[in-house]
Structure 1
C-alpha cells in the first residue's frame, strides 16, 4: 500500500523530478565517481522535507536508530549493504561488537538494536552487545515488547583492544551518538575498526559543518543537472556563543535570523512562492528533536518566554546549548492519515536500504516533527521503490518520487563523508 501523497504535484518539484529522472544515468555515474574518492559513512539516516517547490535534507544522523521501523521487505537490502560495508573494512571479520545507547529502558530504541543485531547476524557475523553503562557489571538480559530478549555485557578493555569476556571483535559498531562526550574506553584503539569514528559523535560533530559540506555537494550536483542549488539546499547561519538561560548571544541569533529570512524572501519572490518564510533554530550538536524552535520573525527572539528558554538551553544527556544553527525552514506538504509527514531515508554504506514517514498529527507544516507523539509509517510499496519508471509522468509514480528522495538522501550522506574527512583529527594535512 503506497501512502497517498497530497503534495502539490504541479509546482517546480515536478520539474526537479523530471530532471532527476531524465539524468539518472549521469547521476548514478556521478555518485559512482564520488564514492571512488570518498568513503561513505558506515550507516546514516536523513530527514527530507518536500515543500512542493523545493526538496531538501534538514538533518543527517550518523548513528541512526529506528531500524525497527523498516519493513521486513527491506531487510534483504539492508543485509546485502551490511555485507558490502563489512567486506570493505574487514573482509575476514567474524565478530562484531555493537555498543548501543545507554537508555536501556526505551523499548522502542531496543527494538532498533535488535533489528541491527539481526541484520549483521544475517550478514555473517557473531554479534554481541557491550554497554558504556558503568552500572552494568555483569551480563544483563533486557526484555523487549515482542517477548524476545537482548543481552548486554560490560566492556572489557585491554591496552590496545576492546571486547567482552571471551569475545574479541575485529569491528566495533557504535549505535551511541556520544552526546555526553568521548568515553575513555573507546580512545586509542589502533588495532580494531571503530565505526563510525569518534569524531562523528556529537561531542565533536557540528550540524553547521555538515550543512557547509552539503552546500558544496549541492552546488556540484546542481551544476551536473543545470539547476539552481537552492532547490535542494537549505540555507543556514550559525551563532557560537549563546546562553538561553541568561539571554546571552540573542543579538547574534536575531541578526542572523533576520538576514536569513531576507534571503529566503528574495528566493520566494524569484520563484513566485506565496508562503511566509520561517527559520528553524536548533542546537548545533545533538539529536532527539531537542533544543529546536520555529522562528517566523526575528523580533520574536527578544521576547522568548522562560519555558522556551529552558527548552532551548539543554539537550540530550543534559548537555548545555552554547552553539546553534539557524536553518532555512522547509515546510512539508506531505500527509499520511491526516498527519503532517516527512520521509526519513536509511542507508548502509552507500546504498539506500529503506525508510519510513515520520508523521505527527499535532504539528504544523513548519514545525519539527521529531517530537513526542510522532508515529512511523513504513514506506511499504506494492512495487519496488528502488527502480524508477522513466516513462511515468512526474508525481504519478511512487517509485519515481522515492528514487528522488533517495538521491537527495545520498547527497546528504556524501556531505557526511566530506564532513568526516574535513574533521578527522588523524588526517594528514598538506600545506
Structure 2
C-alpha cells in the first residue's frame, strides 16, 4: 500500500531539492570521505519535518524500535547493511544477543524484536533475546497476534562477558536506551562488542549535544550545496539543570524561548514566510513528566507556567532538576489520508535502509506526532532513496523527495557520530 501523499510543492523547498540533486555527486563524495574518518552509529532513526520551506530533523534515536513498520520490500537493504556493519565490527561473529527494554512490552514493541531478529538472522547470525529485567527470573515465550512468537531469556553475567545459559555471543545489541540508568550488569564488559556503546544512552547523551554537532555538519553541507544551512537545520538553545519548582528555572526557559523565537522570526522575514513561528520545549535527555510543549507566543508561555505549577503541586515528591532544550518548531506540510504526517528514516551502519510516515489524525501541523494515537504508514519506497531521478522537475518526483530525506537522515547520522566521539569516555584527549 502506497499512502496518499500531499506535500507542499511550492516555495523554497523545491529550490532546496534542486540544489540537492545538482550536488548529488559532491554530496555522495563528501559522505564517503566523512565515513573514512568517523564511525557511524550502529543503527538510528531520524524524525524529519518538511515545512514546505525547510526540511530538517527534529529528533534522532540511537536505540530505535518500531523496526516492524519497515515493509518487506525494505528488508534486503536492512540485511545488506547489517552484514556490512557486522563485518566491520566482528567478521567472525556467529551469535548476536539482543537486549530489549525492560517489560512490560506492547505488542508493537515485541513485533519490533521479531523484525530485528529476522534481519540479523538473514544476515547470517544466530540471534537470541536476553533480558536484563530483574523481574524476569525464567525464560518466557510470548505469542503474538501476527502468529510470530518472542522468547525472552534472563541474561547471565560472567566476570567479563554477558550471555545466556547456553549461548555465548560475540556481539551484544542494545535495543534499550538506558533511560532508567546503566545497570551494573552491562558495565565492564571487555571481551564482547556492546552496540551502541553505553555513552549513547540517556544517562550521558544530550539532545543539545546532538544538534550542536548537527549544526556543524549542516553548515558544511550547506556550503557545499550553496544554500543557507538554516533550510536544513532547526535553531535551538538549552537550559541546564532547570528546577521547575523555582521561578528562576522558568525564567531561563522564558529567556531561551524568546531568543529562539526572535531568531526564527528574522529568518521568516528574510524568506517572506507568512506562517507563525513556534518553538518546542522538551527534555534535553530522555523524557520528562512535563512532556513536549509547543510555544507560539506569550499566552502559550503562560500556559506552560501553569502546567509546571500544576505538575509541581500534584507531586508528592520534589521534581529533580532537569535539562531542557528549546528547539525551533518545524511544521509539517505532509499528509497521509488527510492526517498530518512526518517521515521517519531508518539507518544501519552508514546506509538508509527504509522508513515510514508517523501519522496522527488528532494533532496539528505544529504539534509533536510521537504521541498516543499515532499510526504508521509505509514510505512509498517504490524506488530506493539512493536512486533519485535527475532531470525531473522539482516537487513532482517522490524518489527525488525521498532521496532528499535520505540526505538529511544521513546528515543526522553523521552528527550522531560526531556526538558519540565527543562523549566517548575512552577517547584520547589531546591538548
TM-score bracket relative to the smaller structure:
over 0.9
Number of the residue aligned with 1:161: 161
Instruction: Say if 2:220 is the partner of 1:220.
Output: yes
Number of the residue aligned with 2:142: 142
The superposition leaves residues 295-332 of structure 1 with CA deviations (integer Å, 9 ceiling, x where unpaired) of: 01246434436556567999xxx995611000000000
Measured after TM superposition, the shift of residue 242 of structure 1 is 1.6
Cα 1:309–1:383 change in 2 (3 A) is farther
Measured after TM superposition, the shift of residue 203 of structure 1 is 1.2
Number of the residue aligned with 1:76: 76
Cα 1:115–1:309 change in 2 (3 A) is farther
Question: Residues 205 and 285 of structure 2 are in contact (CA less than 8 Å); yes or no, is this contact kept in structure 1?
Answer: yes
Number of the residue aligned with 2:231: 231
Number of the residue aligned with 2:328: 328
- Report the Cα distance in structure 2 between the residues aligned to 1:370 and 1:288, rounded to whole angstroms: 14
TM-score for the superposition, normalised by structure 1: 0.95
- Report the Cα distance in structure 2 between the residues aligned to 1:196 and 1:215, rounded to whole angstroms: 23
283-292 or 249-258, larger mean C-alpha shift? 283-292
Number of the residue aligned with 1:378: 378
Instruction: Say if 2:181 is the partner of 1:181.
Output: yes
Cα 1:298–1:305 change in 2 (3 A) is closer
Question: Residues 243 and 313 of structure 1 are in contact (CA less than 8 Å); yes or no, is this contact kept in structure 2?
Answer: no
Question: Residues 179 and 319 of structure 1 are in contact (CA less than 8 Å); yes or no, is this contact kept in structure 2?
Answer: no
- Matched length: 428
- Report the Cα distance in structure 2 between the residues aligned to 1:189 and 1:56, rounded to whole angstroms: 37
Number of the residue aligned with 2:390: 390
Instruction: Say if 2:417 is the partner of 1:417.
Output: yes
**What CA RMSD, in Å, does the superposition of the two structures yield over aligned residues?**
2.0
Cα 1:244–1:319 change in 2 (3 A) is closer
Measured after TM superposition, the shift of residue 227 of structure 1 is 1.0
Question: Residues 250 and 302 of structure 1 are in contact (CA less than 8 Å); yes or no, is this contact kept in structure 2?
Answer: no
Cα 1:427–1:383 change in 2 (3 A) is closer
Question: Residues 291 and 311 of structure 1 are in contact (CA less than 8 Å); yes or no, is this contact kept in structure 2?
Answer: no
- Report the Cα distance in structure 1 between the residues aligned to 2:10 and 2:427, rounded to whole angstroms: 46
Measured after TM superposition, the shift of residue 149 of structure 1 is 1.2
420-429 or 238-247, larger mean C-alpha shift? 238-247
The superposition leaves residues 115-151 of structure 1 with CA deviations (integer Å, 9 ceiling, x where unpaired) of: 0000001100010111111111111112222122111
Number of the residue aligned with 1:338: 338
Cα 1:198–1:381 change in 2 (3 A) is closer
Number of the residue aligned with 1:351: 351
- Report the Cα distance in structure 2 between the residues aligned to 1:264 and 1:216, rounded to whole angstroms: 18
The superposition leaves residues 215-242 of structure 1 with CA deviations (integer Å, 9 ceiling, x where unpaired) of: 0010110111111110000000000132
Question: Residues 69 and 356 of structure 1 are in contact (CA less than 8 Å); yes or no, is this contact kept in structure 2?
Answer: yes
Question: Residues 2 and 398 of structure 1 are in contact (CA less than 8 Å); yes or no, is this contact kept in structure 2?
Answer: no
- Report the Cα distance in structure 1 between the residues aligned to 2:407 and 2:269, rounded to whole angstroms: 27
Question: Residues 2 and 378 of structure 2 are in contact (CA less than 8 Å); yes or no, is this contact kept in structure 1?
Answer: no
Instruction: Say if 2:254 is the partner of 1:254.
Output: yes
Question: Residues 245 and 310 of structure 1 are in contact (CA less than 8 Å); yes or no, is this contact kept in structure 2?
Answer: no
- Report the Cα distance in structure 1 between the residues aligned to 2:42 and 2:138, rounded to whole angstroms: 29
DSSP-derived class of the 2:409 partner: helix
- Report the Cα distance in structure 2 between the residues aligned to 1:37 and 1:311, rounded to whole angstroms: 46
The superposition leaves residues 396-424 of structure 1 with CA deviations (integer Å, 9 ceiling, x where unpaired) of: 11100000000000000000000000000
Question: Residues 258 and 298 of structure 1 are in contact (CA less than 8 Å); yes or no, is this contact kept in structure 2?
Answer: no
Measured after TM superposition, the shift of residue 102 of structure 1 is 1.0
Cα 1:361–1:86 change in 2 (3 A) is same
Number of the residue aligned with 1:301: 301
Cα 1:150–1:289 change in 2 (3 A) is farther
Cα 1:112–1:247 change in 2 (3 A) is farther
Cα 1:380–1:300 change in 2 (3 A) is closer
TM-score for the superposition, normalised by structure 2: 0.95
Question: Residues 313 and 320 of structure 1 are in contact (CA less than 8 Å); yes or no, is this contact kept in structure 2?
Answer: no
DSSP-derived class of the 2:347 partner: strand
